[in-house]
Structure 1
Amino acid sequence: MARQPVSYRSGSIEAGLENGRKLLEAKPAAAALQARALLRAEPRNTAAHRLFAQAMAALGRSEDARMARARAVQFSREVPALTEAHRATLAGHPERVEALLRDHLALYPDDPVALMIDGEALARIGRAREAVRRFEAALAFMPEYVEARMQLVRVHQQYFDPAAALAALEPLLADRPGLADLHRWKASLLSNLGQHTLALESLATAAALEPANPDIRVSIGDEQRTLGAREQAEAAYRGAGASMRAWWGLAALGRRPFDGADMAAMRAMLSDAARDPELPYLHFALAVGHEQAGERSDAFRHFAAGNALKAAAEPFDAVAVEAEVARSRRLLTPALFAERGGDGCPAPDPIFIVGMPRSGSTLVEQVLASHPQIEGTAELPILPALVRIMGAEHGLAPGGSYRTLLPGLPASELTRIGEEYLRLARPHRKTDRPYFLDKLPHNWADAGFIRLILPRARIVDMRRAPMDVCWSNFRLLFARGHPASNSLGGMAAYYRSYVAMMADYDAAMPGAIHRVIYERLVDDFEPEVRRLLDHVGVPFDPACLDFHKTARPVATASSEQVRRPLNRDGIGAWRAYAAWLGPLEEAVGDLERTYAG
């Protein structure tokens, strides 16, 4: 039976806290008195403030509870173990945090600051599910803990669970409806979920709150372009004022050529922005402007300048990619797939479209999404997130290869990961069609992983001639995550590694991957579409031939091309720049002749 309230002097602080916790459920008023007694002796004791907050909440005194929680957080920030752990995270050593906080959390498992710091460190090393549990535990004690809630939104977003991130963000928006950044954050999450009309509504709210913010206008333009509203997209970009991203948005939209005034405005910005981190956007926009005017030399100069800036910020390691290809060949063998072929989640729903970016994958996506049994979604970075989480949970060292784990994973874990993929994909689906598309090009490297976790999923490898692909990647401004595109040599090496790994997969799991050659698809469209549909396992439907008439959001760089009928414009496009692409031709070598297999 719990004792009645005692002063701090009648026992240790821990005994007083234990007594207060025992009183809390049945006698919250007595627990409050115990907490007050402890605080008289030790006014900055964080555990006593938390006990008092819980007692006030149980008594319905919400404002007193809120103030006590705020004091608990304030004083927790001064605890030496917590400050040291936070410094370790900021210094880039999140792996040290768990040990630094172990004793503190063993004594005070409800300390929201300790939970938040531990969660942030866990998120940084990829242990996302544990991080979520820490943030949720912190918020269970203190729902108004803004920092913990923002970290919860971030970890859900970082590991591509935008639906969960959106749910976590809503309380922040409810409390702070006047913050434009929160509405922009919501728009970004809605866009991730394919809810572009709702994203535009959130951006409109943000624009009303910050009408002079050019970044909001650019985001509105991006969403309108995704929806195919080209006139509205152009208006939004031009309304962004002096924004380098807006100029690139106009270039990517391609609705009309830049005129002399546009080019002069961009050149003036270039001379004033020597160190602006958005300078690549301006170089690429100027390159497109020169290209529209037939000024190839100036266009190539700006493409090269923009890529050089990108390469400095995100270098490409071709040797590491080649090593991963060799590791995959050694580990993901025909024997492994023969032995583990019945493992994993048996759902047949996903169709993965993989290959090099700019290979025609958006065209194939649009063709398949025109079929009444197949739903188009987007480029879903779910597999990379699952790979990071799996590696972290198995203690994989930074830079280690997750492929070393695959042969030893039990069937139950392969099934769980496959089911987790489907759970994370579900919010992106808007229909009850039996199949859906995931068109993240770089998933080619994970085709073996797909086969192990989702053995009935279809995989389509979209392949285009290497000179066209490498040049097309070089002349397009990608967001972070595709460093090979920053140099022609890097692209050639990346393409060569891709072809080698796909050949290994063909040998290890025969028939699992259906290859579509872009040039054959363009030249012999209907037979190639029929072959594709046969592989997917759906009957032919003529709507697939009229893919450009299918109204759906397209968020990739090819959004404008797939809204036009089939054409040969992209075949041999590199030849217009042949005078500058000799080194690329040499690096590509015989692949230009043998790429189709």
Structure 2
Amino acid sequence: MDHPACDCGSGLSAARCCAYVPEAEGTRPPDDPALAGEAQAAAQALRGGDRAGAERMSLAVLERTPHQPEALAVLAEIRLGQGGNAAAAALLERLAAVEPANFWPVNKLALLELGRGNVEAAERHARQGVRLAPANPQAHNLMGMAMTEAHRPALGEYHCRRALELAGRRIPLVLANLATCLKNQGKVEEARALYREADALAPDNRQTLLAWAQLEEADRRLDEADALLDRLERLGPPSPAMLLVRAAILGRRKRADAAVALLDRAERTRPLRPAERLERGRQLDRLGRYDEAWADFEAGKRQMREAAGGGYRREDAAGMAAELRAFFTRERLDLLPRAGLRTDVPQPVFILGFPRSGTTLLEQTLTASPLVAAGDELTLVHEIAAAAPRLLASPWDYPGALTELWMGDRREALDTLRDHYLQRVRQLGVLREGARLFTDKMPLNETHLGLIGLMFPGAPLLHLIRHPLDIMVSAMSNAFTHGAHCGSALETAAEHLVLSAELVAHYRTAMDLNYRTVRYEDMIDDQKATVRGVFDFVGLPFDPAVLNHEANPRYARTASYAQVTEKLYDRSRYRYRHYRRQLEPALPILAPLIERLGYTIDA
């Protein structure tokens, strides 16, 4: 009787593919030597160009022995060549489990997951590749690529440099990836030199030219970016990524109409991708075509949800918030120790706030001072929360793991967590000569405000407040995954904004914090007084030069990079008025918060 084929497209029956449950250790029957011979014949057929024969033989072997490694490798290679990524991933995952010391499947998996945009899985496989082959340049290059996509450029830089060192030669693609890592750390001149070198070694490589054009656009060298895109277009039809850069350049030249026309032309030949829809929506917004802009925002978000297979992880977010509220109470916190102050290293300033609330503007202003280094979106607080059970040797998950601090041999464990954070900051290359402070503006760090207050009890906490409906408009017009993917829809972004605001209110009641709110609207209406107050709060002298934040040469590595290179403007203040009708579904969710924060809703 025929068995149904597996949905992944491997060609195997479901029972011998994704529904297959491996035998327990020690209970698997011995492999049939004849099957090994058939698998070798399949591999030989593939090497000889008989893909159909190789496919037929490998399928026959795997239907009888689903864990035969050579047959798995043959079928995986065939599916990769056919673009059957889901099938290839399933086969490679099983091969990696069968032969855990085999570098080939984890190398292929890392590349595959990078291509699919699954950064978390790509990093897992890339790390395993380095463990298995620490002297292999390809392993380090893949780790560098994964870290680039994971927005951890300092670590990416290390592995790219290690790949070049092990290879003993200048490899153009590795040079280009190293350049991207440097660009994402704000080392623009070094990055530009490496792009030039990569281009000289391998002229007209599309990947290099695109990344170089993206750097020039970000660094405001629009003519140079245009020239690189012109070279790219001479090599073939423009890719979606090229169109995005071209549209961004047109927008920065105040030619939103041309940017919209460019994307309209692309849509006549193929469906626009989510990022293209959001970009067109932003350009339509500049033109005052608000209904069309919102339609693009919603369509882009819908496409993102469909591609990711879901949206807001509501239960996860609510469950974590409930656990944090239950643990961080005044009674319990009074019994917990605090970490001491390190005076030998620069200290953090935590810039808190919902994505798109104005945190990048504040960071760009602070780091215009030579006394403040830019940390950007450091994931360290979230990493420490996840690692707390291991770091504290606790049988409980976070936040319950913090009860170990009551033990006599754990009384100074918060110093360990603090030092772990500061060491990672140093490793990431955040610190600079002469800086007394550095910024950490990871969005929604306020989720772990209790942990921050224990590790850095005196650290300045600057919480950006902005009209919630303006945040919603900006959240809908940009892509972000922070907050359990809350930004995938209007209502869920509103839910998570309320959830995070309530959690902050709880922390402020439960513990003493060095906390100050900064209103986005105040930065626009009275920039000098607001910024002076911020510098007084963090304990640094105020320099009027920081008011010219647009002159800060630092490359802001967030979606706001272009906005913060412009002089202060007020077009984003109360922008929600253009979208009053479209925002209606969020009003019941946000109305109490809007009132509590002192805002109103204009008709």
Normalising by the residue count of structure 2, what TM-score does the alignment of the two structures yield?
A: 0.70
Question: Aligned residue for 1:422?
Answer: 422
* Secondary structure in structure 2 of the residue aligned to 1:405: helix
CA distance in structure 1 between the aligned counterparts of 2:383 and 2:95, rounded to whole angstroms: 23
Q: Which moved further from structure 2: 185-194 or 202-211?
A: 202-211
Contact kept in structure 1, 2:285 and 2:293, CA below 8 Å: yes
Task: Choose the corresponding residue for 1:497, options 482, 485, 499.
Answer: 499
* Secondary structure in structure 2 of the residue aligned to 1:428: coil
Which one-letter code corresponds to 1:440 in the other structure? M
Contact kept in structure 1, 2:103 and 2:129, CA below 8 Å: no
Which one-letter code corresponds to 1:447 in the other structure? L
Question: Aligned residue for 2:267?
Answer: 270
Which one-letter code corresponds to 1:272 in the other structure? T
Question: Aligned residue for 1:285?
Answer: 279
Which one-letter code corresponds to 1:268 in the other structure? R
Question: Aligned residue for 1:55?
Answer: none
* Secondary structure in structure 2 of the residue aligned to 1:309: helix
CA deviation digits over 1:262-292, x for unaligned, max 9?
A: 5444233224334xxx711221232234334
CA deviation digits over 1:8-48, x for unaligned, max 9?
A: xxxxxxxxxxxxxxxxxxxxxxxxxxxxxxxxxxxxxxxxx
Task: Choose the corresponding residue for 1:335, options 325, 331, 338.
Answer: 331
Aligned residue pair count: 496
CA distance in structure 2 between the aligned counterparts of 1:136 and 1:220, rounded to whole angstroms: 31
CA distance in structure 2 between the aligned counterparts of 1:136 and 1:354, rounded to whole angstroms: 36
Contact kept in structure 1, 2:122 and 2:146, CA below 8 Å: no
Contact kept in structure 2, 1:342 and 1:455, CA below 8 Å: yes
What is the deviation of 1:467?
Answer: 0.2
Question: Aligned residue for 1:531?
Answer: 533
CA distance in structure 1 between the aligned counterparts of 2:391 and 2:324, rounded to whole angstroms: 21
Matches within 5 A, 1:56-455: 91=90, 135=130, 138-139=133-134, 143=135, 145-146=136-137, 148-150=139-141, 153=144, 162-174=153-165, 175=167, 177=169, 179-208=171-200, 211-236=203-228, 240-241=232-233, 242-253=238-249, 254-258=251-255, 263-274=260-271, 279-314=273-308, 315-343=311-339, 346=342, 349-390=347-388, 402-408=398-404, 410-426=410-426, 427-455=429-457
CA distance in structure 1 between the aligned counterparts of 2:425 and 2:224, rounded to whole angstroms: 30
CA distance in structure 2 between the aligned counterparts of 1:366 and 1:443, rounded to whole angstroms: 18
Q: Are the structure 2 counterparts of residues 292 and 568 from structure 1 closer, same or farther at C-alpha, using a change threshold of 3 Å?
A: closer
Which one-letter code corresponds to 2:179 in the other structure? A
Question: Aligned residue for 2:516?
Answer: 514
Question: Aligned residue for 1:572?
Answer: 574
- Taking only aligned residues, the RMSD between alpha carbons, in angstroms, comes to 4.3
Contact kept in structure 2, 1:156 and 1:162, CA below 8 Å: yes
Question: Aligned residue for 2:479?
Answer: 477
CA deviation digits over 1:68-106, x for unaligned, max 9?
A: xxxxxxxxxxxx99999999x9659999999x89xx9xx
What is the deviation of 1:375?
Answer: 2.1
What is the deviation of 1:236?
Answer: 4.2
CA distance in structure 2 between the aligned counterparts of 1:240 and 1:152, rounded to whole angstroms: 27
CA distance in structure 1 between the aligned counterparts of 2:420 and 2:128, rounded to whole angstroms: 17
* Secondary structure in structure 2 of the residue aligned to 1:437: strand
Contact kept in structure 1, 2:219 and 2:555, CA below 8 Å: yes
Which one-letter code corresponds to 2:560 in the other structure? S
Which one-letter code corresponds to 2:352 in the other structure? V
CA distance in structure 2 between the aligned counterparts of 1:114 and 1:273, rounded to whole angstroms: 36
Q: Are the structure 2 counterparts of residues 478 and 341 from structure 1 closer, same or farther at C-alpha, using a change threshold of 3 Å?
A: same
Q: Are the structure 2 counterparts of residues 204 and 580 from structure 1 closer, same or farther at C-alpha, using a change threshold of 3 Å?
A: same
CA distance in structure 2 between the aligned counterparts of 1:243 and 1:126, rounded to whole angstroms: 23
CA deviation digits over 1:104-147, x for unaligned, max 9?
A: 9xxxxxx7869989x99xx979999x9979946853xxx3x345
CA distance in structure 1 between the aligned counterparts of 2:70 and 2:386, rounded to whole angstroms: 28
CA distance in structure 2 between the aligned counterparts of 1:225 and 1:271, rounded to whole angstroms: 26
CA deviation digits over 1:307-333, x for unaligned, max 9?
A: 111122341123322222221111122
Question: Aligned residue for 1:3?
Answer: none
Which one-letter code corresponds to 2:277 in the other structure? H
What is the deviation of 1:495?
Answer: 0.8
Question: Aligned residue for 1:25?
Answer: none
Contact kept in structure 2, 1:355 and 1:442, CA below 8 Å: yes
Q: Are the structure 2 counterparts of residues 596 and 380 from structure 1 closer, same or farther at C-alpha, using a change threshold of 3 Å?
A: farther
CA distance in structure 1 between the aligned counterparts of 2:92 and 2:595, rounded to whole angstroms: 48
CA deviation digits over 1:236-270, x for unaligned, max 9?
A: 45654413223333444532344766544423322
CA distance in structure 2 between the aligned counterparts of 1:570 and 1:362, rounded to whole angstroms: 14
Q: Which has the larger radius of gyration?
A: 1
Question: Aligned residue for 2:35?
Answer: none
Tell me the percent identity: 23
Contact kept in structure 2, 1:227 and 1:552, CA below 8 Å: no
Question: Aligned residue for 1:53?
Answer: none
Q: Are the structure 2 counterparts of residues 465 and 367 from structure 1 closer, same or farther at C-alpha, using a change threshold of 3 Å?
A: same
CA distance in structure 2 between the aligned counterparts of 1:388 and 1:85, rounded to whole angstroms: 35
Contact kept in structure 2, 1:460 and 1:515, CA below 8 Å: yes
* Secondary structure in structure 1 of the residue aligned to 2:580: helix
* Secondary structure in structure 2 of the residue aligned to 1:591: helix
Q: Are the structure 2 counterparts of residues 516 and 227 from structure 1 closer, same or farther at C-alpha, using a change threshold of 3 Å?
A: same
CA deviation digits over 1:380-419, x for unaligned, max 9?
A: 233334444446778999xx96333233353454323322
What is the deviation of 1:494?
Answer: 1.4
* Secondary structure in structure 2 of the residue aligned to 1:402: coil
Q: Are the structure 2 counterparts of residues 594 and 238 from structure 1 closer, same or farther at C-alpha, using a change threshold of 3 Å?
A: farther
* 5+ residue gaps, structure 1: 1-79, 105-110
Contact kept in structure 2, 1:369 and 1:376, CA below 8 Å: yes
What is the deviation of 1:208?
Answer: 4.2
CA distance in structure 1 between the aligned counterparts of 2:143 and 2:432, rounded to whole angstroms: 25
Q: Are the structure 2 counterparts of residues 516 and 195 from structure 1 closer, same or farther at C-alpha, using a change threshold of 3 Å?
A: same
What is the deviation of 1:152?
Answer: 5.3
CA distance in structure 1 between the aligned counterparts of 2:536 and 2:160, rounded to whole angstroms: 43
Q: Are the structure 2 counterparts of residues 136 and 311 from structure 1 closer, same or farther at C-alpha, using a change threshold of 3 Å?
A: closer
CA distance in structure 2 between the aligned counterparts of 1:237 and 1:114, rounded to whole angstroms: 35
CA distance in structure 1 between the aligned counterparts of 2:347 and 2:555, rounded to whole angstroms: 21
* 5+ residue gaps, structure 2: 1-66, 77-87, 111-118
Q: Are the structure 2 counterparts of residues 93 and 233 from structure 1 closer, same or farther at C-alpha, using a change threshold of 3 Å?
A: closer
CA distance in structure 2 between the aligned counterparts of 1:113 and 1:212, rounded to whole angstroms: 31
Contact kept in structure 2, 1:474 and 1:487, CA below 8 Å: yes
Q: Are the structure 2 counterparts of residues 555 and 422 from structure 1 closer, same or farther at C-alpha, using a change threshold of 3 Å?
A: same
Contact kept in structure 1, 2:338 and 2:414, CA below 8 Å: no
What is the deviation of 1:528?
Answer: 2.5
Normalising by the residue count of structure 1, what TM-score does the alignment of the two structures yield?
A: 0.70
CA distance in structure 1 between the aligned counterparts of 2:489 and 2:324, rounded to whole angstroms: 25
